[in-house]
Structure 1
Amino acid sequence: MAFPRGRQEPRRSSSFYIISGAVFVAALLIGVWVYSSPAPVREESRVSSATSKDASSSFDESASDNTVVDESPNTSKSDEALDEPADKETLTTGTTETTSNESDASQGNESDEEKEASEDTPSDDATSTTTDSASPVSEEEKIIEDQQDQATTPAVIESEVGKNHDEKFKWKLCDWESSQDYIPCLDNKKWLDTHRRHKHYEHRERHCPSEEELPKCLVPIPAGYKPHVKWPESRDQIWYNNVPHTGLVSYKADQQWVKKAGDKLVFPGGGTQFMQGAGHYIDFVQKIYPAIEWGKHTRVLLDVGCGVASFGGYLYDRNVLAMSFAPKDEHEAQVQFALERGIPAFSSVMGTQRLVFPSNSFDGVHCARCRVPWHVDGGLLLLELNRVLRPGGLFLWSATPVYQDLEEDVQIWKETTALAKDMGWEMVAKEFDEVSRVGVAIFKKPENNTAYEKREGDVPEICPEDNKPNAAWYVNMTTCLHKIPDTKRTEWPEEWPLRVKVAPKWLSEKDTGIYGKAAPEDFRVDTEHWNNVVNKTYLTGLGMDWTTIRNVMDMRAGYGGFAAALIDQPVWVLNVIPSDEPDTLPIVYDRGLIGMYHDWCEPHSTYPRTYDLLHANHVVSSVESVAS
């Protein structure tokens, strides 16, 4: 049969052979893939996986329930800027939840073909075993996986992980006598046994044990210990079992320091110089020197040899924050009593080393029968007070040399006042209280260097340039006068309470703050940041009962913004500035707050059970950085 015209068979082109070859290769590859592909998971395993996913979802929901949520309106860009100083501590909850949701969504996008393959194909147990051995899982991960399979809560998981840690670390209680009050750097028995220097109270200064010597045990709680009495009731009474010491009850029975009444210790507000009560004494000082203006002009005060700190406790009513200190065990548990009462205090001594405070910081210094020999050793100890006292600040001295006529007292008064004159101090008041039968003398530090230039002699000498006035961590005292600043910190701070809110006038735009901005702006941003954090989260979002909190420590305080944000709460905050970080402690004091230098590679000089709240803003990371 002839082909129709025009339909004769065409000649095959080279493209035909290319296409045919490609089809053949594709078919071959598909065959190899089908033959060598791993077996899909059978239905039972897929259901188990789904159950695990449900448990994970339950875990996320539970975690969400425990997450602090800021229910405030959307913040503006300026609000976002406020968080810049603490960008490293931003919560990652939102990021975690997003990742989890995306993971869940990808798990839910399983194709129909994959589901059918899973139902028709048995599992390959050998493959599963090989995978497990190739990816070893830690004990904590195994616990978490097991708990997720049972749809448990995060609390259960943390409990199980905790058990695992308990099996590794077996802690025992310290069991030597008085171990319940152990302060490592003040109770270094080895040092005390080998050093007998007591003339300048070296035995009351810090002598920390080495890491090998440091006891590896937990300080026990006294038998019958109870949560402390809440402030302000705690100023007047505390639980006896919390500080079970009665030495002062008998030793100071005639001076109204402390009495025992049933299961409590009661503090009448008296003292060696406060026979009519600390409140009467405070009023008397205001009367004889009105310019002191408690709680306005005078805000931060150092109380030397404080006893049980009733003076500081009653000054709190006048908006004065007193930092009280005394040697450990000079009178049994006096500082521990003060702290249990909720009064700022710490154990220290005026010995050979500088106090752990910056220069020119305290508005006033107080000594009521503190038994410090101000006149000896070239005035070494009085010169240390001069270092920490603000220009124009006051020294309040209430002791027998001020108002008694015994030969020894007269001689001490003569030598001390002569030294004060050589230091440029002016005695602005001296009065005797007929009611309490005690006297008070008030001296004022010069406001500028003119007084030093007009001195007749040159003793005490002016400190050399390399004698840094703010160096205070394990630095020996010296018998010299530091010049009064003539460029920075030359003016008295604003009156309280304005001074806590405003940046010190001496902060310059040319200075770079600790967060990299110009110092005044750095200060402002930090203040607003901590106001937001404290008011939106700490006070309302953490489930804390703030009525039980009185003693607070900010372990890395910066500008003191955290303490400033708590100023309306009935708490006091010890602002700690690590000794190896930028020195912002003068700013803290200019704000009307208190603090000290410390090195967190060493124990702190305070009793166990001192603080109700520790605030640690990047403390561990900063210590690790120093250690490395």
Structure 2
Amino acid sequence: MHYIESIEEMVPDIEWGKNIRMVLDIGCTDSSFGASLLDKDVLTLMLGLKDDLVDLAQVALERGFPAVVSPFGTRRLPFPSGVFDSIHCGECRILWHSNGGKLLLEMNRILRPGGYFILSTKHDNIEDEEAMSTLTASICWNILAHKADEISEVGIKIYQKPESNDIYELRRKKNPPLCKEDEKPDAAWYIPMKTCLHTIPASIEQHGTEWPEEWPKRLETFPDWMNNREKLIADTEHWKAIVDKSYLTGMGIEWSNVRNIMDMKAINGGFAAAFSQRKVWVMNVVPVHAPDTLPIIFERGLVGIYHDWCESFGTYPRSYDLLHADHLFSRLKNRCKQPVAIVIEMDRILRPGGWAIIRDKVDILDPLEGILRSLHWEIRMTFAQDKEGIICVQKTMWRP
């Protein structure tokens, strides 16, 4: 907690839980940073790196904190551009300046304009420090504060990303260069990292031109770049009614045991918003072949990720308490070879005793029931009307 407070003292504008809501904790050494921020209404997504020696993301998920596992080296992270208010690398061992600064340029891509990059290290190598200073200056990051914490002996530096493109034009050396106009900053699935700087959004139709409202106002605030404001409000009310009147009371789910939830086909975050007052968190998964609504989800102060459900998800086995799939299977019918592959992945990531709520067309649900029974999942509730249905199932302790 002392560490969190010292950061806020160094840069008062940070205001955890008000100005800062969405944080990415990369290469986390433990989950205490995210745990401390949870009490301040900050949603911290811990990014476990696939080459980490210790499964720290698994520890975070066990403790009930948001975490994903991803390779970090050649491909972009599965997030849109400019969505994290702050990025934190604690006791950081990542060589940001290597490979032409590619890794730091990826941080620059996903950091919100005006957002903060918080770097803490125990022992600075002078050469690495000089290379990092040169790199951050070349991408126009402003160093707001630098001090050594006397208690933990950790040196903390806080950088801020520019809020406009003017400063890029003033650079004497145009290296790294600005990205070409056809280089889409939000394209993130299997896209190689680039060694160029994306320009900062300037038009009102683009996300990232303004800092969002303070939490919790940002959950119900819809900026001009979000089209169909009325549709978004209706979607939020729709899911709030379903969650309050059906999921929380009519399914027989033991909600006191539910903490980690995944919405496997999130659209605008309405399902997750319905749980905002409860002690749970929701991972909003936007399928890569669906319309790109992930910037909307982040703008509302909710966490999410891109994913292709024909592949395995970047998490550990038995890490979620509840999975929600709204017309996911009908959408994937012509993409993934067999629905059984998706069900097996659900079985992998759901804890024994965990729950799944699946909504879809009846002709999709009927064969799904057979697959779920073959895995010894218990069908707790089924309902169908006008060719649409819903099933609520619970995973058992059975193993083949």
TM-score (ref. length: structure 1): 0.52
- Which amino acid in 2 is paired with 1:429? A
Deviation of the 1:310 alpha carbon: 1.6
Aligned to 1:590: 299
Correspondence for 1:626 among 332, 335, 338: 335
SS of the residue corresponding to residue 577 of structure 1 reads strand
Segment drifting more, 494-503 vs 432-441: 432-441
Structure 1: unaligned runs, 5 residues or longer: 1-278, 509-518
Correspondence for 1:457 among 141, 159, 173: 173
CA contact (8 A) 1:577 1:596 kept: yes
Aligned to 1:294: 16
Aligned to 2:34: 312
For 1:353 and 1:459, the matched residues in 2 are separated by 21
CA contact (8 A) 1:360 1:390 kept: yes
- Which amino acid in 2 is paired with 1:503? F
Alignment pair present for 1:531 and 2:253: no
Correspondence for 2:276 among 567, 577, 581: 567
Deviation of the 1:493 alpha carbon: 0.5
Alignment pair present for 1:323 and 2:45: yes
For 2:9 and 2:21, the matched residues in 1 are separated by 17
For 1:448 and 1:616, the matched residues in 2 are separated by 39
CA contact (8 A) 2:122 2:153 kept: no
Alignment pair present for 1:386 and 2:105: no
Segment drifting more, 615-624 vs 341-350: 341-350
For 2:336 and 2:65, the matched residues in 1 are separated by 33
- Which amino acid in 1 is paired with 2:325? A
Deviation of the 1:540 alpha carbon: 1.6
For 1:329 and 1:542, the matched residues in 2 are separated by 40
For 1:355 and 1:608, the matched residues in 2 are separated by 21
For 2:16 and 2:263, the matched residues in 1 are separated by 26
Alignment pair present for 1:442 and 2:164: no
Aligned to 1:541: 250
SS of the residue corresponding to residue 241 of structure 2 reads helix
Aligned pairs for 1:192-207 within 5 A: none
CA contact (8 A) 2:23 2:42 kept: yes
Aligned pairs for 1:400-439 within 5 A: 400=122, 404=124, 409-439=125-155
CA contact (8 A) 2:78 2:189 kept: yes
Correspondence for 2:210 among 491, 511, 514: 491
For 1:341 and 1:314, the matched residues in 2 are separated by 13
- Which amino acid in 2 is paired with 1:499? R
CA contact (8 A) 1:504 1:591 kept: no
Structure 2: unaligned runs, 5 residues or longer: 338-400
Over alpha carbons, which structure has the higher Rg?
1
Residues 282-324 of structure 1: per-residue CA shift (max 9 Å, x gap): 1111111111000000000000101332211221111000110
Aligned to 1:285: 7
Higher helix share: 1
Aligned to 1:481: 197
CA contact (8 A) 2:102 2:193 kept: yes
Change (3 A) 1:538 1:614: same
- Which amino acid in 1 is paired with 2:210? E
Deviation of the 1:349 alpha carbon: 3.1
For 1:369 and 1:481, the matched residues in 2 are separated by 26
Aligned to 1:602: 311
Deviation of the 1:413 alpha carbon: 1.1
Alignment pair present for 1:576 and 2:285: yes
Deviation of the 1:627 alpha carbon: 4.5
SS of the residue corresponding to residue 335 of structure 2 reads helix
Deviation of the 1:443 alpha carbon: 0.4
Correspondence for 1:501 among 214, 220, 236: 220
Identity of aligned residues (%): 50
TM-score (ref. length: structure 2): 0.81
Deviation of the 1:329 alpha carbon: 6.0
Segment drifting more, 327-336 vs 613-622: 327-336
Aligned pairs for 1:59-98 within 5 A: none
Residues 579-608 of structure 1: per-residue CA shift (max 9 Å, x gap): 011100001110011110000111111111
- Which amino acid in 2 is paired with 1:470? D
Deviation of the 1:345 alpha carbon: 0.8
- Which amino acid in 2 is paired with 1:480? C
Aligned to 1:74: none
CA contact (8 A) 1:307 1:335 kept: no
Deviation of the 1:507 alpha carbon: 1.9
CA contact (8 A) 2:51 2:71 kept: no
SS of the residue corresponding to residue 464 of structure 1 reads coil
SS of the residue corresponding to residue 65 of structure 2 reads coil
Aligned to 1:252: none
CA contact (8 A) 1:328 1:335 kept: no
Residues 321-358 of structure 1: per-residue CA shift (max 9 Å, x gap): 01101224622332211111111111123210100000
Deviation of the 1:545 alpha carbon: 1.5
Segment drifting more, 487-496 vs 306-315: 306-315
SS of the residue corresponding to residue 427 of structure 1 reads strand
